[in-house]
Amino acid sequence: MLKKLFGKEQKPVDVTIKSPVSGEFVDITEVPDPTFSEKMMGEGFAVDPSEGIILSPVKGKVEQIFPTKHAIGIRSEEGLDVLIHIGLETVSLDGEGFTCKVSEGDSVEEGDLLMEFDMDVISEKAASKITPVVFTEGDQVENIQMNSENRLKAGETVVATVTVKK
């Protein structure tokens, strides 16, 4: 209310989300894991990767790297929380096949290298190499516009534009 009285109410802002990994676009509802397909973690998309390199989809800060290195959380400079979950049921690998290139608290630019992963290890030992990218705080999101690209190039292809509430 005070923001309205003093004219300091901030308008929503758009965040461009680039693909963190090269590969084929997968609709979040088609991910073979109900945690993601039923959007329990949030709205988003997934990628069936063609290479084992994860780049930052946004400019922001690394908020969380899971101890098993299978997932990384970033907060964009606009305040959008983005979770990149490499593969499905990869927590059980206990870090095998993952090489993290950043630390929690690091500032990252769009396209910075975050993680490398061994696609053979993931394919052999996990349920799937499909990599969900999820906007975990639904109350932050006012609107999501998905682009219609099928083939995605890490750090280059814009997959979504998310309007973030301020």
Cα separation, 134 vs 73, in Å, equals 9
The token pair at 127 is 């349920």
Residue 85 annotated in active site: yes
Residue 2 lies in a domain: no
What does the pLDDT read at residue 4?
53
Residue 85 lies in a domain: yes
Q: Are 47 and 152 in contact (CB under 8 A)?
A: yes
Cα separation, 87 vs 128, in Å, equals 5
Residue 5 lies in a domain: no
CATH (domain of 23)? 2.70.70.10
Predicted confidence (pLDDT) per residue in 48-105, tens digit: 999 999 999 999 999 999 999 999 999 999 999 999 999 999 999 999 999 999 999 9
Residue 74 lies in a domain: yes
- Residue tagged active-site, from 18, 70, 75, 85: 85
Residue 4 lies in a domain: no
Q: What angle do CA 20, 150, 61 make, to 5 degrees?
A: 15
Residue 130 lies in a domain: yes
Candidates 108, 78, 84; CA nearest to 98 is: 84
| Structural domains counted in the chain | 1
Predicted confidence (pLDDT) per residue in 109-144, tens digit: 999 999 999 999 999 999 999 999 999 988 889 999
Domain containing residue 75? 10-164
> CA end-to-end span of the chain, whole Å?
14
Q: Label residue 1 by pLDDT band (50, 70, 90).
A: very low
Which residues are CB-contacts of 98 (< 8 A; sequence separation ≥ 6)?
A: 68, 69, 70, 86, 115, 116, 117, 118
